[in-house]
Chain A
């Protein structure tokens, strides 16, 4: 579909949504003894594209369904535009949920699927037709209005599901892994379209995914979840640059983690890696108890072992080498752990061989101490 075309713009005007904020306050959800969500607190700004990101079973879909009204919280509140929606049944909440498997009604045409929610609101037929046409134009499917869902491709079904949700002019748009049933190429295309659509409508949107790349590419902010707890909330770059803990650091991108002990006090703190060297901890750094040393593969450089051992480097030996064109990825054994270092390829610079002893020099600013 072409989102830039004229008719779609007019269509966007026919669908009127006001940006509202969503607040989740102290929410606990449990199934019997199993606690699925623990003390969730979140504020999603009006018009924001927000992601719940985490591995399967982390509670992200539960939280999304809680906002839609399909789960109940043991305690806590969900507020949309300042009003508590906890007492409203799903059909009175006006939050649009796009289901992972689209959940298109197979016995209705595309048009009937879109009209359904408006018919339930007892809108006049003319108004229903106008809004359905607009929503179809918005997702570029006007020509398929009389098809049945089973006659559409996966990507088209996904757009119908989106249009069916948007046509009711929801306060908030909830997307439950909307890209997971598409092939890799479609996924990239559709996520751009989603972002464009969201921007043009100005609709507060929550996107559930387990794919960090997806979340990074489209979302303004991300809540990283694990084990029913929100680990960190921030923009994609904040999360990558300053992860709050080990889970966030390792879940978003590749991170090296080295165990060690902190010795000394105040300005004299050092981080000792069992027999492999020590790193001076900058005085301003915050180091939690039982911290581990964390750095990205590109946040260090390699030097030959013969160089003078310095305070900011660790000794190790090359056990793996993958030449990937623009850079080379080395696996280096350090005190029983493998760490990964990416070295940018430069003409004339020789590569290390397996078995070479090397010094890993950390970039001080990009070094983290996390628990």
Chain B
């Protein structure tokens, strides 16, 4: 009997056990509930008739027949395109100078070039108005000295200007990386065959660096196109994202126009990412060989050096402007029609810490939870994809990464729509829970945390896990004692990145915050900035946010460096 029974059992093959499958299903359910269904419901509403649910294009037709929407659509494209152009104007000289010349300032550029990334554009937007606005410091000085005013911040100009200052590092980073990846031999081979100067640049360097530039540029385009907070804070309403927000918040969750706009936002995001992917397809242009090194650098002539320093200084001044302006504003008593504030005070910080500490507390809570959710999901998905043979495991990766194409506004609308009718046991709607904000933040940041976890796991040789199993550790024990400890650096870095960016996310929060007591810092900043009297405390909150993000960024760098040192994987 026992013999027959043991023979009836299926023969165990390899590492098959139900654990991974259960985890995969749980993740799939989570992604379905909080990413796929909300997004799908947005698309569904945009293309169906209200009430009947029948397919219709009427909503789309209504959208294109409406002058305000058409102007918003045009403005969004206009602002995004010009932001890319202006950001390129900032990024190209910096990338060129740092990769082509032996230039002392290169290190400064590399460091300060990242500075804008630690402050989302909306945080410094109002402060920038005080510096560059019609009656801002710069224009007052310009008027005094030359009798002219420059409309830096007028209407759409303001959005373009602020966004370009904040997002040009994406182009700088990608382009510099592409330039650095060009092996010196590429250039030398061209020189050896008789090419030089502009022709060499146009025929060799430019084509090789192009994918990097396109990747950066399309990222900037999407970020600007999807951004809700910056236009709102600069009081620009005729752009797509603000229109979606205003329709849903003023007319209501049943108005189809908000959904149509959301669909357009998704389509543009996907298209931009597709273009970026096309730029890289079949062009693995990393040509550096071992012992190689980037393009040949040469010393600058004195005049060139002067010019280079001038360019760098102007750009760095622009980069630092939002930070300087925000700091000034946070300490200013009154700052109006004068180049500098009348007097300085710490009252705004006192007020923020006494009355509005709730915002900071909420932010810390939400961002930590979102970060934890992200690294847990990220680690699990990375492990399932890279280390198991589960059918459909790749879909988890794709689904989680698809969150990149879903703007915060869209996810917010999707949550409101999907969980609209869902009620808690006490009768309150589900969306009134602050946990929903956390979930939205987690989903939005998941793709980045997932990449960090993937990279961390890919660095671990499979032999290290096999060695553990060989001396007696089960797969679960192997994950606990070998995989996770070795991934820890990457996991922590992923957590800190998720935390830092979730701490200053506004788009989704704007849609989902139901009561002021549940609001995070970014929302508080937005509320404060609505009134002239609130600008001081708003700026103080902004400074706190920037410091928080900066501290996190430094922390993540330290963690990565230390974990690489500890595990001897630094080379």
Contact = CB atoms under 8 A, between A and B. Distances in A.
Interface of A: 68-70, 72, 86-87, 89-97, 99-101, 103-107, 116-117, 120-121, 148-151, 164-165, 168
From B470, B481, B567, B568, name the one whose CB has the most chain A CB atoms within 10 angstroms: B470
B471 A165 contact: yes
Contacts of A93: 470
Contact of B464 (A90, A92, A96, A103): A103
A72 B14 contact: yes
Given A90-B466, A103-B467, 13 more contacts: A69-B469, A70-B466, A72-B14, A87-B11, A89-B12, A99-B467, A101-B463, A103-B461, A106-B569, A107-B567, A116-B473, A117-B472, A165-B470
B463 A106 contact: no
A99 B473 contact: no
5 contacts: A72-B14, A91-B477, A92-B472, A99-B466, A148-B568
B241 to A, nearest CB: 45
A106 B11 CA distance: 35
A322 B126 CA distance: 86
A87 B568 contact: no
Nearest to B564: A106
Nearest to B17: A89
A15 B15 CA distance: 30
Nearest to A152: B568
A116 B481 CA distance: 9
Contacts of A86: 11
B483 to A, nearest CB: 10
Contacts of A164: 467, 471
A151 B12 CA distance: 40
B16 to A, nearest CB: 9
B168 to A, nearest CB: 38
Contact of A106 (B466, B469, B568): B568
Contacts of B486: 105-107
Interface in B447-481: 461, 463-464, 466-475, 477, 481
B467 A105 contact: yes
Interface string B205-226: 0000000000000000000000
Nearest to B465: A103
Contacts of B14: 72, 89
Given A101-B461, A168-B471, A150 B466 contact: no
Interface in B97-121: none
A103 B462 CA distance: 9
B566 interface: yes
A88 to B, nearest CB: 8
A106 B470 contact: no
A206 to B, nearest CB: 14
Given A116-B473, A117-B471, A150 B568 contact: yes
Contacts of B568: 106, 148-151
A236 B80 CA distance: 74
B298 interface: no
Most chain A beta carbons < 10 A, residue from B14, B15, B471, B566:
B471
B470 A120 contact: no
Contacts of B474: 89, 91
Contacts of B471: 96, 116-117, 120, 164-165, 168
A104 B11 CA distance: 32
Interface residues of B, number: 27
A176 B481 CA distance: 24
B482 interface: yes
A97 B482 contact: no
Contacts, number: 86
Contact of A99 (B463, B477, B482, B569): B463
A101 B461 CA distance: 10
Given A103-B464, A105-B464, A149-B568, A97 B470 contact: yes
A102 to B, nearest CB: 8
A96 B475 CA distance: 17
A96 B468 CA distance: 10
B292 interface: no
Contact of A116 (B12, B468, B567): B468
B470 A72 contact: no
A94 B13 contact: no
Contacts of A68: 466, 470
A168 B472 contact: yes
A105 B468 CA distance: 9
Nearest to B9: A87
A164 B473 CA distance: 13
B461 A90 contact: no
Nearest to A149: B568
Contacts of A97: 466-467, 470
B485 interface: yes
B459 to A, nearest CB: 10
A72 B13 contact: yes
Interface string B556-571: 0000000000111100
A231 B468 CA distance: 33
A149 B567 CA distance: 9
B470 A107 contact: no
A36 B11 CA distance: 22
A120 B473 contact: yes
Contacts of B468: 105, 116, 120
Given A105-B486, A106-B567, A120 B472 contact: yes
B469 A90 contact: yes
A90 B470 contact: yes
A100 B568 CA distance: 18
A95 B481 CA distance: 20
A97 B474 CA distance: 16
Nearest to A151: B568
Contact of B477 (A96, A106, A120): A120
A97 B464 CA distance: 12
A322 B473 CA distance: 56
A149 B466 CA distance: 17
B333 to A, nearest CB: 54
Contacts of B469: 69-70, 89-91
